[in-house]
Amino acid sequence: MTPAGAGDRRRLILHIGHGKTGSSAIQSFLSANRDRLAAAGIDYPPLSSEAEERATRGDTMLGNLAMGADWVQAIHRRMAESRQNVVLFSNETVFHKVGSDPAPFADLARAHALTVVMFLRDPFDHVLSSYDQALKRGRLPATPESHAGKSRVLEQAADLLDGLDHFGVPVVLRNYSRSPDLLATFLGTLPLADPDRFLMGSTVGDRPVNRSLAAGERSFLRALVQSGAGSLARGVADALVDGLPRVPADRVSLSPEVVAELSAAWAGPLARINARLPADERLRLIAPEPADPRSMPATLDAEQLSVIATAIAREMRRMATPSAKQEEFDTFWTLADKHETGARVSRGEQAFLLRKALEIRPGAPVVKRRLRAILASRLGEPQNSGPLSG
């Protein structure tokens, strides 16, 4: 399945998650060991100084690839600049951004010897972890059941794998749920002479990254989001997860009826994916154990309360800025979050970005036309009317 002519081209390894498969832990490790990777012939390009600081602390991060509209061209540019024969990029947002469309990978495979590394996770395990992640990002799934019912990750993964096969792009699949040592599993996907030896001599963080929530934290964040304070919930969640990484998580459960419905709905894509995996790596429909509320009271201890109070105070200081700037900040924050998760950007948010672009370059005709079209579609007006016409 290696693309024709790949032997005389640089090798590109693209780790695309998907979500909730340990990407933050992998990325923190890669950043901390960038020099060792370079010595082994693998270029792991830095994203930014801020991202590197977060990785050094072991905080949640998004890898080393900025997911702008030109992310494919950004990879091409870095491949041309790199002095190594192997270049590694990691960002699980790639999976959400491309959906089931393999075209961007086909573009990359034409120019480079591309290998895609994708981690999967047992479906019930995944949807309950992503439920917590939605709360941590300031969104409010009505219930764990409704959140699980909306998940399309299995279908998307199966469709994307079929598309990558069509274009002859090699894919390395690993099951996060069958990986007792995540870093060892990931390093085994890289062209290292001795992955175990590499791991033994590496800097390995001693704390969890992007942990799931305790029951009290989950209840508090739900209350914040329900009150309309989604941006505040994001800041509080980051402070809790990064500041108190060792707090044990509490389970979320699903009703037996929902488990049965989802098991039937997921059977098709699960079979398509499992056909590509060895028996010991296959995804399993393991129903979550029922949660006993008595064993996980929705309380917060003194450390958690201190972290929450500090995060809220920081947010209040931020909100003391002029209201117009605050509104802009909140909009940019929301757009960044949508970009991270692949959520749909509204027409109003598109109009906001185009107006900001016109502030930078007032006479840009393409920007004016796009903004006029968006405003017309929102207001039901003809596209040649309004203050931006002409």
CA distance 35 to 317: 39
Specify the long-range contacts of residues 265-272, CB closer than 8 Å, at least 24 apart: 266/123, 266/154, 269/154, 269/155, 269/157, 269/158, 270/123, 270/154, 272/158, 272/161, 272/162
Instruction: Tell me the C-alpha to C-alpha distance, in Å, between residue 361 and each of 52, 278, 357, 367, 374.
Output: 32, 55, 6, 9, 18
Query: Minimal CA–CA distance to 75: which of 89, 63, 61?
Result: 89
Residue found under tokens 């290696």: 2
pLDDT at 356: 85
DSSP string, 187-235: HTTS--S-HHHHHHTS---SS-SS----HHHHHHHHHHHHTT-HHHHHH
Say yes or no to pLDDT of 274 above 90: yes
**Which of 211-215, 219-223, 315-319 has the weakest average pLDDT?**
315-319
Residue-wise pLDDT tens digits, 80-117: 999 999 999 999 999 988 887 889 999 999 999 999 99
Give the residue from 261, 284, 258 showing the smallest Cα distance to 271.
284
Above 50 in pLDDT, residue 215?
Answer: yes
Q: Which pair of structure tokens corresponds to residue 332?
A: 């940019």
Residue 5 has pLDDT above 80, yes or no: no
CATH code that applies to domain 6-121+152-209: 3.40.50
Stretch 251-278: mean pLDDT, rounded? 95
Domain ranges of the chain: 6-121+152-209
pTM of the model: 0.77
**Neighbouring residues of 142: CB distance < 8 A, sequence distance ≥ 6:** none
CA 109 – CA 78 distance, rounded (Å): 15
CA distances from 348 to 33, 133, 261, 287, 372 (A): 42, 25, 37, 41, 12
Which pLDDT tens digit goes with each residue over 13-61?
A: 999 989 899 998 999 999 999 999 999 999 999 986 565 666 555 555 6
- By DSSP bridging, strand 86-90 and strand 171-175 are unpaired
pLDDT of 370 over the 70 cut: yes
- pLDDT tens for 189-202 read 999 999 999 999 88
What is the average pLDDT value for the chain, to the nearest integer? 85
